[in-house]
Amino acid sequence: MNKRLNIELIKKVMDSLGLNNSQVSERLAVSRTIVGEWLAEKKFPRPDKLVRLGMLLKLPHTDLVVDDAPLAAVVNFRKKSRRALTDTHFADALKKAMLLDLIADYLPEGSLEVPPVLKNPSMEYAYIQKAVALVRGLVGKSLTDVINYSDLVEIIHTYDVVPVPVFWGVTSCRDNDAHGLHIESPRSKKEWIYINLDSYLLDFKFWVAHEIGHIITKCSCDEVFSENFAELFAQSFLFPEEMAAKTYTKLVGLNANQLVVEMIALAETLFISPYTIYKSVNSYAVENGLAQLEKLNSSYVVIKKYVENKSTLIEKLRNDSVHSFARKYDEFLSPEEYVYLAETYFKTPIFDSLKKFLGETSKGDGFLQSLFDIQAVEAKELHYYLTH
């Protein structure tokens, strides 16, 4: 049976959402002609566009497509510097989902049950604060406790999500464009979260909290809403209303330079970016009809330099590790050290699963190159390490 869109339902949902062909084409970054051909059943969307169409209309694959075609994965990004998502990003993420599905059967038995996800996510401030309290409670944290790196890892595992630590660079101009990537696959019924070990240390908590925002909402909302919710959830998760209210009285009325000094001092104790504090306090002010903090303008550069002067996550992990490895060069990270750090700090089962998978199949280093977005020589070394 050929794949075909459920046109009648799609048009009905478009009408209920007040969307016309032009608006759909704009949201999906395709031409109105293409949308018209989809709805006239002359063409079928490519996998990445099909995923985004389903997210836009809030329709699961089983309602969107009328046939027994393989289910498409749901993917969510935390892009670097707010980079625009392209078809290439989605196609690459869907390819990763297919590769991950191949090793899903080699993973250890998952949890019998996981915490509930949010049924009807809302952007309302009070709702997000309730979601923050719920997720913090999973790791025994109050609304005034500092969130540690280990807390984030524990939350990921509590939701039975598999961490995939990778090296995707620190800027938007090198390596992969994402700080994080969440993949939910209906085929294997598994979830994965790519974590960028090259992140600046003070940014890392925010990127992971952002992906947790996707985890707790699943695919129950469209792409734009999902990203905005995850953004607000992350800042409130790391700096909840209780902290924001107390801090507001100290910061309101200060000029930009004074704000930066005060926020950096506070950020040092929480080990988060001062900008997260700034955004959270302003959200609190807006919610309560209070004056917002002074605009940072050029003072934001001071915060940026402060964050970039801290080490990256991988640098900290290597320094904190009690296990020493022979290193050819200071920057060289061997496959053995990479796997050790990933398993020690993120408790990920992916490498043990890969060892079993590679041992039973003929997959070569190209599989690892695509899965982790690494260079050919790195993939070759990692493949050798996992198979010997």
Q: pLDDT at position 51, please?
A: 85
Phi and psi at 158, nearest 5°, equal -60, -35
Flag whether pLDDT at 330 surpasses 90: no
Q: How many CB atoms lie within 10 A of CB 218?
A: 18
Domain ranges in the chain? 7-70, 75-238, 241-310, 314-387
Q: pLDDT at position 4, please?
A: 83
Query: Is the model more confident about 48 or about 352?
Result: 352
Query: Once rounded to an integer, what is the mean pLDDT over residues 128-137?
Result: 97
Q: Residues of the chain with pLDDT > 90: what percent?
A: 60
Give pLDDT tens digits for 203-229. Answer: 889 999 999 999 998 755 667 788 889
Q: Round to whole Å and give the CA distance between 252 and 130.
A: 25
Query: Once rounded to an integer, what is the mean pLDDT over residues 159-171?
Result: 87
Q: Please give the CATH topology (third level) of the domain spanning 75-238.
A: Arc Repressor Mutant, subunit A (1.10.10)
Query: Once rounded to an integer, what is the mean pLDDT over residues 66-90?
Result: 69
Query: Once rounded to an integer, what is the mean pLDDT over residues 246-275?
Result: 95
Query: Once rounded to an integer, what is the mean pLDDT over residues 92-114?
Result: 88
Q: Residues of the chain with pLDDT > 70: what percent?
A: 91
Query: Once rounded to an integer, what is the mean pLDDT over residues 11-15?
Result: 92
What confidence category does residue 82 fall into, taking pLDDT thresholds of 50, 70 and 90? low
Query: Once rounded to an integer, what is the mean pLDDT over residues 249-258?
Result: 95
Residue 228 amino acid letter: N
Flag whether pLDDT at 323 surpasses 80: no
Domain at 7-70: CATH architecture: Orthogonal Bundle (1.10)
Query: Once rounded to an integer, what is the mean pLDDT over residues 354-366?
Result: 94
Flag whether pLDDT at 71 surpasses 60: yes
Flag whether pLDDT at 2 surpasses 70: no
Q: pLDDT at position 76, please?
A: 80
What confidence category does residue 1 fall into, taking pLDDT thresholds of 50, 70 and 90? very low
Please give the mean pLDDT across all residues of the chain.
Answer: 88
DSSP run (H or E) holding 100:
helix 87-103
Query: Once rounded to an integer, what is the mean pLDDT over residues 199-203?
Result: 88
Query: Once rounded to an integer, what is the mean pLDDT over residues 245-252?
Result: 96
What confidence category does residue 365 fall into, taking pLDDT thresholds of 50, 70 and 90? very high
Give pLDDT tens digits for 263-318. Answer: 999 999 999 999 999 999 999 999 999 999 999 999 989 999 999 998 889 988 98
Flag whether pLDDT at 328 surpasses 70: no
Residue ranges in 294-334 assigned as alpha helix (H): 300-309, 313-320
Flag whether pLDDT at 190 surpasses 60: yes
Give burial (CB, 10 Å; 0-12/13-18/19+) of 74: buried
What confidence category does residue 24 fall into, taking pLDDT thresholds of 50, 70 and 90? very high
The CA–CA distances, whole Å, from 72 to 53, 98, 159, 219, 267 equal: 12, 9, 21, 12, 40
Flag whether pLDDT at 177 surpasses 70: no
Q: pLDDT at position 70, please?
A: 54
Query: Once rounded to an integer, what is the mean pLDDT over residues 158-177?
Result: 78
Which of 36-45, 326-335, 352-361 shows the lowest per-residue confidence on average (mean pLDDT)?
326-335
Q: pLDDT at position 179, please?
A: 73
DSSP run (H or E) holding 358:
helix 350-360
Asked if the domains 7-70 and 75-238 are classified in one and the same CATH topology, the answer is no
**Up-side HSE of residue 284: CA atoms within 13 Å toward CB?**
23
Quickly list DSSP for 140-186.
T--TTSPPPHHHHHHHHHHTTEEEEEE---SSTTSS-SEEEEEEEET
Q: Are 93 and 70 in contact (CB under 8 A)?
A: no
Report the b/e string of 1-26 with b at 16+ CB within 10 A.
Answer: eeeebbeeebeebbeeeebebeebbe
Q: pLDDT at position 47, please?
A: 78
Q: Round to whole Å and give the CA distance between 332 and 185.
A: 34
Residue 76: strand, helix, or coil: strand
**What is the biggest distance separating any 2 CA atoms in the chain, rounded to whole angstroms?**
66
Flag whether pLDDT at 173 surpasses 60: no
